[in-house]
Amino acid sequence: MADNKTQPTDVSVTDFIANVEHPTRKADAIELDRIFREVSGFKPRMWGPTIVGYGSYHYVYDSGREGDMCATGFSPRKSNLSLYIMPGYQEFGHMLDRLGKHKLGKACLYINKLADVDTDVLREIIRAGLDDLDSRWPVKPS
Pairwise CA distance, residues 26 & 22, whole Å? 6
pLDDT digit string, tens, across residues 69-110: 999 999 999 999 999 987 677 678 899 999 999 999 887 899
**What is the pLDDT at residue 1?**
47
Residues 68, 138: Cα–Cα separation, whole Å: 11
In the chain, the percentage of residues whose pLDDT exceeds 70 is 96
Instruction: Report pTM.
Output: 0.93
Distance, in Å, from the CA atom of 114 to the CA atom of 118, rounded to the nearest integer, reads 8
pLDDT tens by residue, 33-43 = 999 999 999 99
Q: What is the mean pLDDT of the chain?
A: 92
pLDDT tens string 107-131: 789 999 999 999 999 999 999 999 9
- Residue type for 107, please? A
For the cut 60, the answer to whether the pLDDT of residue 2 exceeds it is no
What does DSSP say about strands 44-47 and 51-60: parallel, antiparallel, or unpaired?
A: antiparallel
Q: Which of 48, 52, 130, 55 is nearest to 86 (CA)?
A: 130
